């Protein structure tokens, strides 16, 4: 193998699994260390810079970082660090932050941008562009900003105060808001004097289910996301005693739990496929079950039963899943008799689609498969050069953190576009920094010890109180002490083991001390062969091997990054400091830090 090029910023970025997995690449270990140091304000700002909504995401994020967490790969039943809920600790305990954010008014640069939709993607674009002097006009059909974070996430998961606070940090940057304004024509928008338009309108159309009885029972059949929005804006305040929620995603979980708070005493979720195929996050399924909501699987609905003009219930078939050799699923009837379940209300939460009835088809803005706009994956530019898309509106339903990541990239594109730069080739690379953590002969700046603690559970509000009012937040969050303990479980994967070949005397001290047998000195070879003959087999192909230059004995140092604990013992036991622990900070560069700006 060739020596590893650690000058490539992506090499060490890959070692920080959580940060790599985060769509916005938030420097996770960096803020977790700040939480452990009780520096909540700084921890909050590290988050705010990167993901814009720390308090919101600390409660509601889909947490792609957690399955990636190295801790989950350690031996035994080790679980990932509770990264998401630690973010909330920073948000809950922070001090004043507003003075740390960009301070307006900003000198105008003469460019005007329209943001259609007031959700996380548009708000991110607004935050990145406002300090650069852009005049930003945000349009939303509701009376407040936040988009799906307000309409689709129930208040018992995300209190309105938290949402308002973080949305307002952005609106206070001098954004011109046009609330209660539904944009009904792209042609009209294009005719206005905007230099660029960003579309962040989400995936606003909930799927319906056309079955016998659908029309007749319409009064008691609701579409999940519309129903949730109705509840959020208090147009809907009650639901029947018996409720059936159809669907197995997070929206279904939110619907059933909301129903329990609006008068539903017998609420059931019915999924047409097996449990394993449910799209909802495991923790949201667990929270629903904790509120006495049974989930029935392998039961596709067949008919809405109507009696005397009123919904009586739903008939379900029974199926089992079979998978062909390509993993494609088919649901086959088991032959068991159909099941009838009584219901006063049915909520359909089986997915949502993009919908652009307001974009005229003769504008040169191409819409492709499934009516999704044709958007460049890197620049977020549509086929109309001045129109950009982001969030669910761009590539279909994802999640808040993905929308934020899109927002950052779209903001870069819009800035480059407005400044007359090339939006693809002038994009800035990441900002990286690598700093030795050596503090003394055997001391490190970071806390290098590895705790054995199991993942801590977030305390919940008592069930009775939680179900009495839809605005009572269920999760209470870690207090500072629990937060500290959970923060200590972080392995500090951003503190890199950096190897200096010329200093190594091949004493083997690092090999002998490494708790997880990551380091091997051996003759070089092809990767496939090397992975088999290391001190412990390196079977996780998604994790790189760190290969040194050739040493005096003609061997090379090979480190398998897979289960390195970043405990620093290799560097501590190294007599010549050939190993050093160096903190790698990787930050996605934001709009305004482009080459042409720096030259000025």
Kindly list the residues in this chain that would bind another protein in the complex (CB under 8 A).
Answer: 73-76, 78, 441-443, 448-450, 452, 505-509, 511-513, 515-518, 536-537, 539, 552-553, 563, 565, 567-569, 572-576
* Separation in Å, CA 185 to CA 191, 362, 389, 472: 10, 12, 16, 39
Q: What's the closest the beta carbon of residue 167 comes to another protein, in angstroms?
A: 42
By beta-carbon proximity to another protein, the closer residue of 312 and 573 is 573
Q: Any idea what the Cα angle at residue 258 is, between residues 90 and 245, rounded to 5°?
A: 125
By beta-carbon proximity to another protein, the closer residue of 184 and 539 is 539
Q: What's the closest the beta carbon of residue 498 comes to another protein, in angstroms?
A: 17
Q: Which residues neighbour 283 within 8 Å (Cβ) at sequence distance 6 or greater?
A: none
Residue 489, H or E segment? none
**Alpha helix locations (H) across 213-273?**
224-232, 250-261
User: Which is nearest to 118 in space by CA: 77, 152, 149, 83?
Assistant: 149
Beta bridge partners of 322: 330
Q: What's the closest the beta carbon of residue 77 comes to another protein, in angstroms?
A: 11
Using CB atoms within 10 Å of the CB of residue 96, give its burial: 0 to 12 exposed, 13 to 18 middle, 19+ buried: exposed
Whether the CB-CB separation of 91 and 60 falls below 8 Å is answered with: no
Whether the CB-CB separation of 317 and 338 falls below 8 Å is answered with: yes
The 10 Å Cβ neighbour count of residue 518 is 24
Q: What's the closest the beta carbon of residue 32 comes to another protein, in angstroms?
A: 18
Q: What's the closest the beta carbon of residue 51 comes to another protein, in angstroms?
A: 30
Provide the angle, in degrees to the nearest 10, between the axes of the packed helices 40-51 and 83-93. 120
Q: What's the closest the beta carbon of residue 1 comes to another protein, in angstroms?
A: 20
Q: What's the closest the beta carbon of residue 2 comes to another protein, in angstroms?
A: 25
By beta-carbon proximity to another protein, the closer residue of 207 and 555 is 555
**Cα distance from N-terminal residue to C-terminal residue, the chain:** 43
What DSSP state is assigned to residue 265? S
Q: Which residues neighbour 8 within 8 Å (Cβ) at sequence distance 6 or greater?
A: none
How far is the C-alpha of 174 from the C-alpha of 158, rounded, in Å? Answer: 25
Residue 192, H or E segment? none
User: Which is nearest to 101 in space by CA: 57, 186, 165, 56?
Assistant: 165
Q: What's the closest the beta carbon of residue 115 comes to another protein, in angstroms?
A: 47
Q: What's the closest the beta carbon of residue 73 comes to another protein, in angstroms?
A: 8
By beta-carbon proximity to another protein, the closer residue of 183 and 518 is 518
User: Which is nearest to 300 in space by CA: 338, 327, 346?
Assistant: 338
* Separation in Å, CA 254 to CA 158, 221, 282, 296, 564: 11, 16, 13, 16, 38
Q: What's the closest the beta carbon of residue 509 comes to another protein, in angstroms?
A: 5
By beta-carbon proximity to another protein, the closer residue of 384 and 513 is 513
By beta-carbon proximity to another protein, the closer residue of 331 and 563 is 563
By beta-carbon proximity to another protein, the closer residue of 385 and 449 is 449
By beta-carbon proximity to another protein, the closer residue of 486 and 562 is 562
By beta-carbon proximity to another protein, the closer residue of 296 and 551 is 551
Q: What are phi and psi of 174, to 5 degrees?
A: 95, 35
DSSP structure string for 119-181: SHHHHHHHHHHGGGT-EEEEE-SSSSS-THHHHTS-TTTS-HHHHHHHHHHHHTTT-EEETT-
By beta-carbon proximity to another protein, the closer residue of 36 and 203 is 36
- Hey, CA dihedral for 309, 311, 312, 313, is it positive or negative? positive
- Give the SS3 label for residue 345: strand
Q: What's the closest the beta carbon of residue 74 comes to another protein, in angstroms?
A: 5
Q: What's the closest the beta carbon of residue 452 comes to another protein, in angstroms?
A: 6
What DSSP state is assigned to residue 369? G
By beta-carbon proximity to another protein, the closer residue of 139 and 499 is 499
Q: What's the closest the beta carbon of residue 4 comes to another protein, in angstroms?
A: 20
Q: What's the closest the beta carbon of residue 260 comes to another protein, in angstroms?
A: 41
Strand 519-522 and strand 556-560: pairing?
A: antiparallel
- Hey, CA dihedral for 149, 151, 156, 162, is it positive or negative? positive
By beta-carbon proximity to another protein, the closer residue of 100 and 536 is 536
Q: What's the closest the beta carbon of residue 449 comes to another protein, in angstroms?
A: 7
By beta-carbon proximity to another protein, the closer residue of 41 and 516 is 516
* Separation in Å, CA 229 to CA 2, 6, 38, 145, 316: 56, 49, 37, 13, 28
By beta-carbon proximity to another protein, the closer residue of 100 and 511 is 511
By beta-carbon proximity to another protein, the closer residue of 290 and 442 is 442
């Amino acid at each position: 193998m060739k020596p590893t090029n650690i000058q490539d910023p992506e090499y060490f970025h890959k070692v920080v699994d959580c940060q790599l997995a985060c769509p916005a690449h938030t420097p996770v270990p960096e803020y977790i260390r700040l939480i452990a140091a009780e520096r909540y304000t700084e921890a909050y700002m590290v988050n705010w810079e990167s993901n814009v909504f720390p308090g919101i995401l600390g409660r509601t994020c889909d947490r792609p970082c957690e399955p990636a967490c190295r801790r989950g790969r350690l031996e035994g039943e080790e679980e990932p660090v509770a990264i998401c809920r630690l973010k909330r600790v920073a948000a809950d305990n922070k001090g004043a932050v507003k003075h740390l954010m960009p301070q307006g008014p900003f000198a105008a640069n003469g460019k005007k941008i329209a943001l259609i939709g007031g959700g996380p993607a548009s708000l991110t674009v607004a935050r990145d562009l406002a300090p650069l002097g852009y005049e930003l006009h945000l349009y939303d059909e509701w009376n407040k900003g936040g988009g799906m974070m307000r309409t689709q996430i129930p208040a018992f998961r995300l209190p309105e105060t938290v949402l308002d606070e973080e949305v307002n940090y952005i609106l206070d940057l001098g954004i011109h808001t046009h609330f209660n304004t539904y944009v009904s024509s792209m042609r009209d928008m294009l005719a206005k004097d905007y230099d660029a338009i960003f579309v962040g309108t989400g995936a606003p159309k909930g799927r319906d289910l056309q079955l016998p009885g659908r029309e007749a029972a319409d009064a008691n059949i609701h579409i999940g996301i519309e129903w949730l929005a109705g509840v959020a804006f208090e147009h809907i305040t009650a639901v029947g005693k018996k409720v059936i929620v159809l669907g197995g995603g997070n929206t279904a979980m939110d619907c059933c739990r909301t129903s329990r708070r609006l008068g539903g005493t017998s609420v059931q979720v019915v999924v047409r496929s097996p449990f394993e195929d449910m799209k909802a996050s495991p923790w949201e399924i667990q929270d629903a079950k904790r509120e006495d909501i049974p989930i029935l699987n392998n039961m596709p609905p067949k008919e809405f039963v109507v009696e005397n003009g009123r919904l009586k219930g739903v008939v379900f078939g029974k199926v089992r899943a079979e998978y062909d050799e390509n993993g494609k699923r088919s649901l086959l009837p088991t032959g068991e008799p159909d099941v009838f379940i009584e219901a006063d209300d049915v909520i359909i939460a089986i997915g949502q689609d993009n919908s652009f009835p307001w974009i005229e088809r003769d504008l040169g803005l191409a819409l492709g498969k499934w009516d999704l706009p044709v958007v460049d994956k890197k620049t977020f530019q549509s086929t109309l050069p001045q129109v950009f898309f982001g969030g669910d509106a761009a590539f279909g339903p994802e999640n808040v953190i993905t929308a934020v990541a899109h927002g950052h990239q779209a903001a870069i594109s819009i800035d480059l576009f407005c400044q007359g730069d090339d939006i693809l080739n002038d994009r800035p690379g990441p900002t990286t920094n690598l700093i030795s953590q050596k503090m003394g002969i055997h001391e490190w700046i970071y806390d290098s010890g590895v705790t054995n603690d199991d993942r801590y559970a977030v305390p919940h509000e008592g069930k009775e109180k939680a179900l009495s009012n839809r605005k009572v937040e269920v999760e209470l969050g870690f207090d500072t002490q629990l937060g500290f303990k959970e923060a200590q479980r972080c392995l500090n994967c951003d503190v890199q083991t950096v190897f200096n070949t010329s200093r190594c005397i091949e004493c083997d001290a690092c090999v002998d001390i490494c708790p997880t047998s990551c380091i091997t000195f051996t003759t070089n070879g092809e990767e496939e062969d090397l992975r088999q003959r290391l001190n412990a087999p390196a079977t996780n192909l998604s994790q790189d091997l760190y290969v040194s230059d050739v040493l005096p004995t003609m061997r090379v140092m090979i480190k398998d990054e897979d289960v390195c604990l970043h405990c620093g013992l290799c560097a501590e036991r190294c007599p010549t400091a050939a190993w050093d622990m160096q903190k790698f900070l990787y930050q996605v560069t934001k709009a305004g830090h482009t080459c042409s700006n720096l030259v000025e």
